[in-house]
Copies of this chain bind each other. A is one copy, B any other.
Amino acid sequence: MSRVLATDAKDFVEKEISIKGWVRLRRDHGKLIFLDIRDRSGIIQVVVNPQVSQSAYKNAQALGVEYAVEIKGRVNKRPENSINKDLESGRVELEATEIKILAKAPVLPFDMGGEDLKLELPTLLDHRGLTLRHPKIAAIFKVQAVIIDEFRNYLKREGFVEFQAPSIAPAVAEGGAAVFEVDYFGNKAYLSQSPQLYKQIVMSAFERVFSVNKVFRAEPSVTTRHLTEVVSLDAEMAFIESWEDVKDMAQSTVRTILKRLEKECAKELKMYKVELPKMIEKTPYLSLRDAQEKIFKHSGRDARGEKDLNPQDEREICEIIKKETGSDFVFIYGYPTKEKPFYVYPNPDNPEYNEGMDLLCKGLEWASGGRRVNDYDQLMEHVKKWKLNPAKIKLFLETFKYGIPPEGGFALGAERMTMQILELSNVREASIFPRDIERIDERLTSKKRS
């Protein structure tokens, strides 16, 4: 008898099947024992009746939460009044004839049986191997897997080639702040802060490239938005007409991800009682200066002339745009050229501002990108102005010496998107093994600091 998954059991009514999974709940009702068994597909209810099998009943009495079991039995339709519409398998139940314990478990350190797992964040993370089994916690990482998968699928359909960006970097092109140092056979190396220059190199061969990679920031402060190791979804494309081509590609990527989530993650979104952010036909876009002007007109708060939007500005401009257009998304472009990296393309009509852009959603930055400097002479001018050491970015500069057409790209942050879609309060909840100044799996406070 080969194994049937929980959600497939409905196709085996009045048949004998075998299931495998973990005990999520055990309820004793008089002479009957009810079990909720969780496997990779979902949950199924098992009823253990001593009249049906004395030995199964005896084993069921010994079961605790998180025991791993194999259960044989017969699939029965549930009576109309006990159908559970919240379960995919809710129209059936398994009447156990045989229960085999595959692995035992002691009593859990906290209750995992509820719909919500009411734990403080440190406890949630200290017990990752348990808390991850709670359906609502597992849902976070199913959503994240779909986001990442659809990022790749969509870009593949658009002719992008995947490449593997390196994590160990030889030098820090843009200064050494917030970077982790690696002892590399006695040399100094660093953990990559961004695959930016690598994706621009690889673009020169494949024209359109993407990469799902780790980026590392030695972020010394504790905020709800920052981790030291995050998953970056990077894309770069050549032969653009203007920065708007990059904007449009970022928009259609996000739109496609949202559509796939709608289709495949309805259950997970329902668990979090959230609706997907609304992306209208044409996402509004405005320059940094226009955004600041709008904020000033709206609230009187004067951030005009600032080099960037701060978190409060980001929230406000998103609220204003939402009211005006119904869109939860807005692109902000045109940042002061000298405040941004050397590779960002200055607007030829007004070179003090660049053609870099950010995509905000409900006050949070989802993506950043824009057009890049592609002309070699202009790039070398920037290298000088930004006081960079050209020897440290030799591979990159050589690439641009040889025929690079107008190009640009963008990057999305997987954890931030997950966090905001599920309306989590801390980005650490959206990282399966979050790293920050205080934690790498275990809390670091007890360790010696130099």
Which chain A residues in 423-444 approach chain B with CB under 8 Å? 431-433, 435, 437, 440-442, 444
A177 contacts the other chain (CB 8 A)? no
Separation of A122 and B17 alpha carbons in the complex (Å): 60
* Interface membership of A351, Cβ < 8 A: no
Inter-subunit contact A132/B167 (CB<8 Å): no
Question: Are B449 and A129 interface neighbours, CB within 8 A?
Answer: no
Contact with A181, one of B5, B182, B449 (Cβ below 8 angstroms):
B182
Interface 9-mer from A276-284, A292-300, A333-341, A401-409: A401-409
**In the assembled complex, A223 has its CB within 8 A of some CB on chain B:** no
Number of identical monomers bound together in the oligomeric complex: 2
Among B149, B198, B208, B448, which residue has its beta carbon within 8 angstroms of that of A162? B149
Chain A interface residue number, banded? 35 or more
Report chain B residues within 8 Å CB of A191: 167-168, 182
Evaluate contact between A170 and B440: CB separation under 8 angstroms: yes
A356 to chain B, nearest CB (A): 21
Choose among B102, B394, B403 the residue that contacts A105 (Cβ–Cβ < 8 A). Answer: B403
Report the nearest B residue to A198, measured CB to CB.
B433
Within 8 Å of chain B (Cβ to Cβ): is A138? yes
Complexed CA–CA distance, A206 and B414 (Å): 20
Complex contact A127–B398 (CB within 8 A): yes
Please, which residues of chain B bring their CB within 8 A of the CB of A152? 149
Q: Which one of A25-33, A140-148, A311-319 is at the interface?
A: A140-148
Report whether B202 and A398 are in contact in the complex, using a CB–CB cutoff of 8 Å: no
Partner of A442 from B205, B394, B448 at Cβ < 8 Å: B394
A343 on the B face (CB < 8 A): no
**Residue A103 is within 8 A (CB to CB) of chain B in the complex:** yes
Q: Is A189 an interface residue (CB 8 A)?
A: yes
Most buried by B among A23, A132, A441: A441
| A218 and B106 contacting across the interface, CB-CB below 8 Å | no
Instruction: State A214–B169 Cα separation when bound (angstroms).
Output: 14
Within 8 A of B (CB), among A89-144: 102-106, 108, 127-130, 132-133, 137-138, 141-142, 144
B187 and A449 contacting across the interface, CB-CB below 8 Å: yes
Q: Is A41 an interface residue (CB 8 A)?
A: yes
Q: Is the CB of B214 within 8 A of A167?
A: yes
Chain B residue numbers with a CB within 8 Å of A447 are: 187
A182 close to B185 (CB less than 8 A): no
Interface residues of A in 157-177 (CB under 8 A from B): 159, 161-170
Tell me if A440 and B168 are in contact (CB < 8 A): yes
Q: With an 8 A cutoff between CB atoms, is A186 at the interface? A: yes
Residue in B66, B138, B180, B399 whose beta carbon sits within 8 Å of that of A183 in the complex: B180
Q: Would you call B182 and A402 a contact (CB within 8 A)?
A: no
A170 pairs with B401, CB closer than 8 A: no
- How far does the alpha carbon of A414 sit from the alpha carbon of B162 in the complex, in Å? 13
Residues of B with C-beta under 8 A to A405: 20, 68, 102-103
Cβ-defined partner of A129 (8 Å) among B70, B130, B395:
B395
Contact of A399 among B129, B166, B202, B375 (CB under 8 A): B129
Q: How many angstroms between the C-alpha atoms of A142 and B202 in the bound complex?
A: 12
CB contact list, A24-44 vs B, under 8 A: 39-41
In-complex Cβ contact of A185 among B40, B68, B218 (8 A): B218
Indicate whether A67 reaches chain B with its CB closer than 8 angstroms. yes
Most buried by B among A23, A129, A170, A437: A129
Which residues from chain B contact A180 at a C-beta distance below 8 Å?
168, 182-184
Residues of B near A194 (CB, < 8 A) are none
Other contacts beyond A142-B161, A167-B229: 6, CB < 8 A:
A68-B403, A129-B402, A132-B205, A141-B163, A144-B164, A167-B216
Q: 3 closest A-B pairs (Cβ-Cβ)?
A: A129-B399, A40-B207, A68-B405
Interfacial residues, chain A to chain B (CB-CB below 8 A): 3, 5, 20-23, 39-41, 66-68, 70, 102-106, 108, 127-130, 132-133, 137-138, 141-142, 144-145, 148-149, 152, 156, 159, 161-170, 180-187, 189, 191, 198, 201-202, 204-208, 212, 214, 216, 218, 220, 228-229, 231, 238-239, 374-376, 394-396, 398-406, 414, 431-433, 435, 437, 440-442, 444, 447-450
